[in-house]
Amino acid sequence: NAGVTQTPKFRILKIGQSMTLQCTQDMNHNYMYWYRQDPGMGLKLIYYSVGAGITDKGEVPNGYNVSRSTTEDFPLRLELAAPSQTSVYFCGIGSTDTQYFGPGTRLTVL
Amino acid sequence: KQEVTQIPAALSVPEGENLVLNCSFTDSAIYNLQWFRQDPGKGLTSLLLIQSSQREQTSGRLNASLDKSSGRSTLYIAASQPGDSATYLCAVTTSGGFKTIFGAGTRLFVKA
């Protein structure tokens, strides 16, 4: 998927647990994004970054945190997992001309 | 606030039929519009991207048009094939160029 790697592919969490979703790119893009996709819905932007050290909130940032210490990595942190965070999470890279997406992380919170 | 709507939500057609998927957006101040394909359980594949200054883009059997003033885009698929079965997502990038808003998608099923 165009040089975007996401780990893990699947994860089951208990309510209140925390975890970090990893996203790594090897295409040297400044822009990176985190989206979530609920069943039958489109993607909703959680956070985005326009470069190392710069992040900003998207449409649905509550319950998540991000950091961008390098161009390659853009991890997404869930501090206190809730059932409402059950979703598929996609990391994207790109520019204003196009976007590429990773294969996704399927997260279930029980 | 930009909102993106796709109609229909689902579509089933016989093989060989030409079809049109619709996308509408509420704020015409966009940077570009992109059509993606998503196969079940998979990520997204970019199909076509139309810059705000363009009217259409073509790739093989696919043609996407953009009417920014009316807030509409269409994806035309010619001579549909069973392999075209997937969910098609429309996404608009805001004029700041940083945020991309997605529609809920159209699930297409092409019957052999």
**For the segment A58-96, what is each residue's pLDDT rounded down to a tens digit?**
989 999 999 999 999 999 999 999 999 999 999 999 876
Chain A CB contacts of B54 under 8 Å are none
A1 reaches B (C-beta below 8 A): yes
Q: Tell me the pLDDT of chain A averaged across its residues.
A: 92
Chain A CB contacts of B42 under 8 Å are: 103-104
Secondary element (H or E) of residue A58: none
Return the residue of B nearest to A99 by Cα. B46
Dihedral (Cα; A60, B11, B75, A2), 10-degree rounding: 60
Name the residue of chain A whose CA is nearest to B95's CA. A96
Does residue B82 have a cis bond before it (omega within 30 degrees)? no
For residue range B51-71, what is the model confidence (pLDDT) as tens digits? 999 999 999 999 999 999 999
